[in-house]
Amino acid sequence: MQKSHQQAIDKYEEYRNQARSIAMENLPESLKSLRLASVDNKALQAFEMWQEIPERKVDWDWTFANRYCVRYPKAFDLSVWASNTLLSLTLGRPTYNGTSIRMDFIERRPSYCPYSGQLFSVSQLAYETYGRLIGAEYIRIVEPMNNALIAYYTSQDGGFKLMPGSQSNPCYLVKHL
């Protein structure tokens, strides 16, 4: 790995940690017990239990998260915890021109999940915070899985707008920061 690439990883790791910390400080009082962290080895071990749950709606193997953050030094990874229970994982990165932060992968704990109706807003807060720290103007949710999720995301406070896909880009939802 080139020295400049490692320097970029280290620089943006500071921004990632700062964004998680600021987001935790700004959580509503009812969510102050949650902990925001990276998608580290502890999160990946907790994720392994999700793979056996039949209610799981996606088949992402989150073990790629470490490689993703090395390949894309500006990437943002987030795990949300209630005590020692992993509640959600989110992974994304800035667009190539840097004007938007993308949420590429979002998954919450399948089956019983405390705070399930509030976890997206927690991830959104952290991603918006990171986006502002790195100078992005927009947040995107790339390739929402189905129409129910599109309806959910567009109904949220400050609503996202659906942008249709093109030959070079998938559809995505976008919101100004």
Can you tell me which residue has the tokens 């990874």?
Answer: 77
Tokens of 105: 């992968």
User: What pLDDT, in 10s, does the model give residues 77-114?
Assistant: 999 999 999 999 999 999 999 999 999 999 999 888 88
Is residue 30 predicted with pLDDT exceeding 90? yes
User: What three-state secondary structure class fits 101?
Assistant: strand
User: Do 26 and 126 form a contact (C-beta atoms < 8 A)?
Assistant: no
The number of CA neighbours under 13 Å toward the Cβ of 8 is 14
Determine the residue type at 159: G
**pLDDT at position 41:** 93
pLDDT at 58 > cutoff 90: no
In 3D space, the residue among 8, 100, 109, 116 whose CA is nearest the CA of residue 62 turns out to be 109
Q: What percent of the chain stands above pLDDT 90? A: 65
Residue 31 has pLDDT above 90, yes or no: yes
The CATH number fitting domain 3-176, selected from 1.10.10.10, 3.40.630.30, 3.30.420.40, 3.90.180.10: 3.40.630.30
- Per residue in 138-176, pLDDT tens? 999 998 888 888 888 888 766 899 998 887 788 899 999
- Please give the Cα distance from 158 to 56 (Å, whole number): 28
Q: Are 72 and 59 in contact (CB under 8 A)?
A: no
Antiparallel, parallel or unpaired: β 138-142 and 100-108: parallel
The pLDDT, as a whole number, for residue 105 is 92
Q: Name the more confident of 71 and 57.
A: 71
Question: Can you give the residue ranges of every domain in the chain?
Answer: 3-176
Q: What predicted TM-score, i.e. pTM, was given to this entire model?
A: 0.92
Closest Cα to residue 140, out of 161, 120, 164? Answer: 161
Quick one: what percent of the chain has pLDDT higher than 70?
99
